[in-house]
Chain A
Amino acid sequence: MQRESGSASEPLIETSKLTKQFGSVIALSELDLRVMPGEIYGLLGPNGAGKTTTIKTVLGLLEPTSGWIKVAGFDPAKRPLEVKSRIGYVAENPVVYDSLSPRDFLAFVASIRKIDSKASAEMVSRLAEAFDMGKYFDSPIATLSLGMKQKVALIASLIHRPPVLLLDEPLNGLDAKSSRIVKDMVSFHAEKGGAVLFSTHIMEVAQQVCTRIGIIYHGKLIAEGTLDQLRSEVHREGSTLEEVFLKLTHEESEVVDTSRTLREAFFRNETN
């Protein structure tokens, strides 16, 4: 993993009053986020809450409307290449060059990241073996399943051993074995002092993997902390993350109402 000049007590990802507007739509509103070395920060929120926008803004793909961002001490708007060289990124929908094979694609990524063949060999071999990619390593990516494409994207994100991992729904399409491997991989990364920003809407995953969770809703960070801290915030000891989440986002009663309406729709003929 690349060593940074900052100390271990400085956040690897930091945003302050980060706001992003798309026309009149406010996607992110004054988001303050700090992810420390060794931390797996789960960004939790319903669809359209602003998780992907947060990750893309941190990566420098989107320019903030206001506020600032620092990744390993660098501002993505001013030093995009320094930031990108310190980040491993997996997109929600893995987009890679479809006509290349995983081997060609990974060689391309490693080359752009200026890693020599030997340095990347071990990581690629271990991960490709772990993900059972033997039959797919020389097939065009276009012919691979969503899960297999996700595995290619995961390997590409780790090839340069970055200090920061930005994972946007990284378990999309993965089977149980691969999901477990990814979760372990993320933990090892954090153990080695890396920081992970992990976006998901699957509560169990966040509960299992993340050391700290931020709940984002309509572009705002409405709660943050460990699972226990979040439980105490809603005064529900022993509740699951899903229950905490629904309570915090005020969606609990809405879910009950929707469920009742659906039940009526499903069983209408039988009651008539």
Chain B
Amino acid sequence: MKLIEAWRLSRIPYREVVYQSLAEEKGRMWWGAFGRSTPGKEGQDDLELAKRALRIAKFDKIFVTIFSVLVSLVPFGALLLGATGFGLASSVSLSLAVTFGLVTLYAIQTLSSFVGAKPSALLSVLPIGMDDLSVVTLFSFVRSVDYIVVGSVISQVIVVGYLTGSVFAALLMLVASVINGVFAVSIALWFSKVFQKNILRGGRSKANSAMRMFFILMWGLLLVGVGFLFSIPWYIVPAVENALVGAGAGLNMLMGLLYPFSTGVVVAEVVHFNIAFAMVVLASVSLAAYVLLAVYAGRWSLGTVKSITQDSGLKITRVETTDFSIKTRRPLLAYILKDLKTASKNPGTAFFFAMPVLQTLIITLFVARYVVLRVSLLLTSSLMGGVFALFLPLALLTVEGKGLEYTKTLPISSGRIMISKAIVSAGAYAFVPVVLAVLTLIKPLTDFSAIFIPFFTMIAVFNASIFEMALFFRTAARSRIASIVNDVGKLIVGLLTIFVPQIVYAASFLFSLSYVLSLALMGGTVLIELSLVTLILSRS
């Protein structure tokens, strides 16, 4: 089969996987008709939904690509602005690191559908050879990350070419960007495979859950890493630059060996010649080794895709049991536990469970820098934590998936379901007030009453979660399908729900200079929101 024909054919499994991965979010479509449906809506056929799913997938992909391109350019920002003290070596290294993290995170979301589903099942019954089918599957797999990888490669090559004026440096950057993409996709594929394997393992072993949690944590750390690199390059870039171009100490030499710093060193050396000779040699050798490793990773990916195509990629293990006992719980708790189980088993949503760790870490680092815990600091850190928690309700709705079609047949109201998800979100946020309360034991606080700010914010997070979900119910009935854009509106409403009580606190303090009155007004605002929530819940 000609490659061009394989590329054309790969659209079929790609569409199937896109539709299936969105179908995992199809619970959102079912939400639109929770309990009862609007006449006329059910008539929307699957073909139309599939077309919309593809349009949305394309839009999401473009959105993420633009973000990825911008993020890959951030480390070069200071250089472009002509700032001194920022070096090409560290900018290249960090740009590659950020792109690597982003592509990996995005690919994990998409590729888990490839690993779990049988993307080429439709084609496998046709008279197409297994090797050709593997190429088709690989191409369909490439289609899911093509824009992001190509976008990053082009932007990195152009910016390096522009900054250095050297064709050779640009070519080196091209090689580096391509191997970066190969590594990211291979790691994502490996991760998805291991995660799926863990999910498919039968039995009631606690080790399976522990393993899953370990991967979720790894995922969270990757997110933290990307977040840090993206948000504070102005601090990191000079530090890395100093380490790279400093004296040839053992540790610095080691950095020259590590990916992606070795690449940064080699690209920078082409134009600047200010790096220690030994380090350049070391970095060049290691870059060559990374190219070879990328070739190996590419081949491994091809083999893995081939095994997925042949349906031998993942083995299902079964454990025989004669104990059919089940443990029941109160409905609300059962719903929460069900959500936690399903979400932690879905690679697309599992990393949301790393959020509490993430927010605690960030807030601790943020607050720990200050000697005195000012009220403004507590307001800001509470809001920061709240922003993380806002993603959870929508993520938990996503994990419902098609299973919600069944839940609709059970005697549980949509209000109850919203409460369960809002409890999880507020529960995830609970780390923030606890951390801040602990910090008040070791750091002086401007006014003791301020300790209640994060606790009020926790109630606001609960309110925000309900508002987001209630809004979701309304819009899902119209759109019946999910997209990043659709979620932005709900997140803004959620953000405002957390933000307004804080504004009330700040404004009343400016006028009254009374901490207690400001806190009381903040509490009052939260209670007004809560009464609105109660009204919404009573009607659902």
Which A residues lie at the B interface, using CB under 8 A?
20-23, 25, 59-63, 65, 77, 80-82, 84-85, 87, 89, 91, 95-101, 103-104, 106-117, 120-121, 124-125, 128-129, 133-140, 142-143, 153
Contact = CB atoms under 8 A, between A and B. Distances in A.
30 contacts: A22-B43, A23-B39, A23-B40, A61-B35, A61-B36, A63-B36, A63-B39, A65-B39, A80-B411, A84-B409, A97-B338, A98-B402, A99-B199, A99-B345, A99-B346, A103-B326, A107-B326, A107-B334, A108-B334, A111-B333, A117-B325, A121-B326, A124-B324, A125-B324, A128-B324, A136-B318, A139-B202, A139-B316, A142-B199, A143-B200
User: 8 tightest CB-CB pairs across the interface, nearest first?
Assistant: A111-B334, A97-B403, A99-B345, A85-B411, A139-B202, A22-B43, A107-B326, A84-B411
Nearest to B408: A61
Given A101-B204, A137-B321, 20 more contacts: A22-B39, A23-B39, A60-B36, A81-B412, A81-B413, A91-B405, A97-B342, A100-B338, A101-B202, A110-B326, A110-B328, A113-B411, A117-B325, A121-B324, A125-B324, A134-B320, A134-B322, A135-B318, A138-B319, A139-B316
B244 to A, nearest CB: 45
A111 B36 contact: no
Given A59-B409, A77-B36, A84-B410, A138 B321 contact: yes
B42 interface: yes
Contact of B406 (A23, A87, A97): A97
A98 to B, nearest CB: 7
Nearest to A115: B328
Nearest to A84: B411
Contacts of B40: 22-23
A97 B401 CA distance: 8
Given A91-B405, A95-B403, A139-B202, A62 B37 contact: yes
Interface residues of B, number: 50
Given A84-B410, A97-B342, A134-B320, A107 B327 contact: yes
Contact of B202 (A25, A77, A114, A138): A138
B539 interface: no
B405 A80 contact: no
Interface in B300-348: 316, 318-322, 324-331, 333-335, 337-338, 341-342, 345-346
A139 B405 CA distance: 21
Contacts of B338: 97, 100, 104, 108
Contact of B326 (A65, A120, A133): A120
B203 interface: yes
A108 B39 CA distance: 31
A198 B233 CA distance: 65
A62 B40 CA distance: 11
Contact of B341 (A22, A104, A133, A153): A104
Contacts, number: 151
Contacts of A116: 328
Contacts of A96: 403, 406
Nearest to A21: B39
A60 B35 contact: yes
A160 B192 CA distance: 38
A120 B43 contact: no
B408 to A, nearest CB: 6
Contacts of A63: 36-39
A139 B318 contact: yes
Contacts of A112: 331, 334-335, 407, 410-412
A133 B38 CA distance: 39
B409 A62 contact: no
Contacts of A98: 401-403
Nearest to A80: B35
Contacts of B318: 135-136, 139
B320 to A, nearest CB: 5
B49 to A, nearest CB: 15
A258 to B, nearest CB: 26
Nearest to A95: B405
A82 B35 CA distance: 13
Contacts of B331: 111-112, 114
B342 A99 contact: yes
A62 B408 CA distance: 11
A120 B324 CA distance: 10
